[in-house]
Structure 1
């Protein structure tokens, strides 16, 4: 039988706090979503001023990163690179801003962020994911 790490309430809170701190440091109104390794929502925080659609997009970015076990930007790059057939894949968050949370080489969850420019979303998401690395 295999054993794996999972995100608990303490870790979800830590990820959200780190991502929120990065967003607020830069004065970015974003939504931050934390999902488990299957893409199921565990925590969501929509900062003041973020458009409601940000909540939907952040969750989908987190789900995409979980299902693919990689940053959601990989899919955006594939499509932008001409692999348009990938648009038919069952992923709604194929935009930069979803990143995996990796512990002991395994994806145990993801962080999705939406609300500002794509690279800024990714910056906030990476800050959240890095919160568990020490």
Structure 2
């Protein structure tokens, strides 16, 4: 009980009841108040998110839009407020914050145009058609603008070694932005370059690899392997022309 002494005395028991000092009560309220406010804010966020989803008015304007949308919907389904980890991990970014991110990073980023899967498949089909016309079984690889593999086919009868060569031709063309036979022209008269650059992993300096250029931009590359490099070059050129690309 609270006696005539200090108001901050420790708790004492009176039967089955506990009397708590005024200071302890104040400290407890100070700890509980932020939690109550946090829960209130979370309830408002859930209500707003449910309203936006129901009226189809949710608009996300940030690079993490997919994660934001999925996380918000999950919170609504679970009927709970976002946890600190949800909020501060960057998974919950509203439209205003997303817009600020876009403005802040706009001058330090660029858009990249690249072949789609459909475009890659179209090139593969064109190469196979051209190779069949020449009765030449080949392997064909198509890479995107970042020199990553998009599509690959090894025709019946194409030697196993052509699997890697075709991919490396496409990789070399996409990475250098030039046809592989042009790379040989570039290095053949430069002794240090000729002897040194050939040790670069995956580099091919003979014909059969071509960059794919659309509207003046390199959007990918195609690599063909199966015959002499002059035959591979001819097949690649025919396929590119059939798809409307310049050579």
The answer, yes or no, to whether TM exceeds 0.5 is yes
In the other structure, the counterpart of 2:220 is 109
The yes-or-no answer on 1:118 pairing with 2:229 is yes
* Cα pair 1:100 1:129 within 8 Å, conserved: no
In the other structure, the counterpart of 1:28 is 136
Question: Unpaired runs of 5+ in structure 2?
Answer: 1-105
TM-score (norm 2): 0.50
* Cα deviations by residue, 1:28-75 (Å, 9 ceiling, x for unpaired): 011010001121110011111101110100000000000100001122
* Cα pair 2:126 2:243 within 8 Å, conserved: no
In the other structure, the counterpart of 1:6 is 114
In the other structure, the counterpart of 1:133 is 244
Looking at both structures, which has the greater relative contact order when contacts are Cα pairs under 8 Å and sequence separation is at least 6?
Answer: 1
> Residues 1-134 of structure 1: matches in 2 within 5 Å?
2-81=110-189, 82=191, 83-133=194-244
SS at the partner of 1:133? coil
TM-score (norm 1): 0.88
Q: Distance in 2 between matches of 1:127 and 1:45?
A: 17
Structure ID, larger Rg: 2
The structure that is strand-richer by fraction is: 1
